[in-house]
Structure 1
Amino acid sequence: MKVDKFKWKTMHSPNGGEKMSITEVKFNDGYSQIWSSGINKSNETWDLSYTGHCNELAEIRQFLNSHIIHSFQWVNPWGEERLYRVQNESIKSEFISSNVVKLSFTFVQSYAP
């Protein structure tokens, strides 16, 4: 299966986060045990936005809508190429003028196409 690639360069200030998949058990004496859960221990999210003419951003918007379920490759700001998908309901359009729009969305790390 061919995996698409997000080809547009990052604009503005990308905001990334990492969530570790852990399990923790705390005891009454203050002691706690913590361990990682599952095969994929961490999960990245990236909040991104692009501002430009509506016609220019239409291709990006189309790509985003077609990759909510299907994964794609993207090189994150750390320079790491990984699989991501678009988080459902994260695509937002803010019209600055009649022809200029700010398109915001969130990428969530994925582990299989």
Structure 2
Amino acid sequence: MAIETFMWPTQVAGQPTTEYARTIREVQFGDGYKQVSESGINSERIKFSYSFRGSLSVAIAIRDFCRRHCTKAFIWTPPHGDKGLYIISADSIRLIPNGKTQATVSATFEQTFSAVEV
């Protein structure tokens, strides 16, 4: 089964937030020495707060894409980042009507990993 690609524009004027979280292991010894190491080969994960404001039909298409990808990975390239696999945080999808023909849709994209090269 083919992996879908998120093709809609990223609007950076809304100041979206990119979060970088790293999983590490650390041990503190009695003499003050502290040892720190990565926890696995994919220890850094990225979260991106995505938001789109525009036509209602485009916002609904983005919302529907997001609803399909809470458990299924998709390909996306974040602003100033590298192409990778992402999923949608399950409780992060929002659709806010802005009149009859406009809407804002938002969701949180979380980086995920696979053995398949994207």
State, as a whole percentage, how many aligned pairs show the same letter. 31
Match of 1:65 among 60, 64, 67: 67
Q: How many residues align?
A: 113
Alpha carbons of 1:53 and 1:28: their partners in 2 closer, same or farther (altered >3 Å)? Answer: same
Question: Which residues in structure 2 correspond to 1:30-69 (within 5 Å)?
Answer: 30-69=32-71
1:14 and 2:13 equivalent?
Answer: no
Alpha carbons of 1:61 and 1:31: their partners in 2 closer, same or farther (altered >3 Å)? Answer: same
If the length of structure 1 is used for normalisation, what is the TM-score? 0.89
Q: CA deviation at 1:28?
A: 4.0
Q: CA deviation at 1:98?
A: 4.1
RMSD: 1.7
Task: Name structure 1 gaps, 5 residues minimum.
Answer: none
Separation of aligned partners in 1, 2:103 and 2:111 = 26
If the length of structure 2 is used for normalisation, what is the TM-score? 0.85
Aligned to 2:102: 100
Separation of aligned partners in 2, 1:4 and 1:47 = 19
Q: Show CA shifts across 1:55-77 (max 9, x none).
A: 22111111000011110100111
Indicate the SS of the match to 2:107: strand
Q: CA deviation at 1:29?
A: 3.8
* Residue pair 2:93, 2:108 contacting (<8 A) in 1 also: yes
Q: Show CA shifts across 1:64-92 (max 9, x none).
A: 00011110100111241101011110111
